[in-house]
Amino acid sequence: MSEAGSGRQGERVGGGRYRLLGELGRGGMGVVWRAYDEALGREVAIKEVRAPAGFGDRDIDRLYARMEREGRAAARVSHRNVVTVYDVAMEGRPWIVMELVRGLSLADVLDAEGPLPSARAARIGAEVLAALRAAHAVGVLHRDVKPGNVLMANDGRVVLTDFGIAVVEGDAALTLTGELVGSPEFLAPERALGRSPGPESDLWSLGVLLYAAVEGFSPFRQDTPLSTLRAVVDESLPRPRRAGPLTSVLEGLLDKDPRRRLPAAEAERLLRLVAAGGTPAGGSVSSPNAFGPAATAETEPLGRLPEPGATPAYPPAPDADGPAEPPDDPPPWRQRAAVAALVAGVLLAALSLGGLAWALLNKGG
């Protein structure tokens, strides 16, 4: 069955308190409205869920439950870089009432301006990371960090929004039939392999966002969701050409092993250093080996995705400028950390692999 009813301009929701003024945007699962709060005399944004045609009752119920959880997850995080949720109104389905952030998404900015200077990208990254650290501190994982979910407010703030697939510590998972949770090109390798996410998974997504912001393209994007996930798991990171002092930060955030990923506090410190015009210790370019094969002597592969048929040919990473050089000293955060011996990577169970492949190949019918 499909969902009955949808919002209309001029309609009042939330017991008549909120009057819908006009659409701000829409996607496959709903519409975001500009609305007026009659009780407090202010404009707000309201997210209305709209289940796609063909959804059964069970999936619609799960979608509504996830929408309510989005409101709870975002409301748990009180931070200037996280969108503020005011209310969740229930009228047949949930309507999330939140602050109206005037401005553009980072995706819109990148479309209009192209690649950003490293200092500007670092400032944006530091603000997003501050939002993520605040969320992680109260047990919330965002799981969908990407340029479209980062708002560049007219008042100068950088605001992380859309906690629609966030995980709140202690809550059960709410996954829809055949749904891939998250955007494949921003998904961390451990999540692509079906493993439980942690804060490090959000840090990987931030690294992909920063790479796209300075280089002008997403490093692992392929023609299909499945080939994109294979690239995330198996392919080496294309060597950055424009990142400059951000290069070592990208290396740290985009380590395929979450245990070796750059810690959040150190990442924020380095991002603020680059934003202020500085260069992380050790120079602006990290070891050439950072952009070599994903599997090394130190870190074996996390696993491989199933291959239905022949393995697709991936576009090669851009050629390095000249022959490989001996590795530099390890980055400062790894010198300071007490590194435990790493065990061999664990192969993912065949059932999990088959389930992921089925979900991807059957997504959208």
146 is in an annotated binding site: no
3-state secondary structure of 268: helix
Structure token digits, residue 50: 């709209």
> How many angstroms separate the CA atoms of 127 and 136, rounded?
14
3-state secondary structure of 248: helix
Range 299-302 contact pairs with CB under 8 angstroms and sequence separation of 24 or more: 299/255, 299/256, 299/257, 299/260, 299/342, 299/345, 300/342, 300/344, 300/345, 301/233, 301/234, 301/345, 302/189, 302/190, 302/193, 302/195, 302/233, 302/256, 302/257, 302/345, 302/346
Per-residue DSSP letter, 236: P
Catalytic status, residue 144: yes
Structure token digits, residue 17: 């308190």
CA 299 to chain centre: 24
Instruction: Say if residues 153 and 108 touch (Cβ distance below 8 Å).
Output: no
- Exposure class string for 54-79: b at 16+ Cβ within 10 A, else e: ebeeebbebbbebbbbbbbbbbbbeb
Query: φ, ψ for residue 43 (rounded to 5)?
Result: -85, 145
Find all residues with CB under 8 Å of 11, minimum gap 6, and list them.
19, 20
Single out the catalytic residue among 59, 61, 144, 223.
144
Active site amino acids: 144
**Residue set of the binding site:** 47
Q: Which residues are annotated as a binding site for ATP?
A: 47
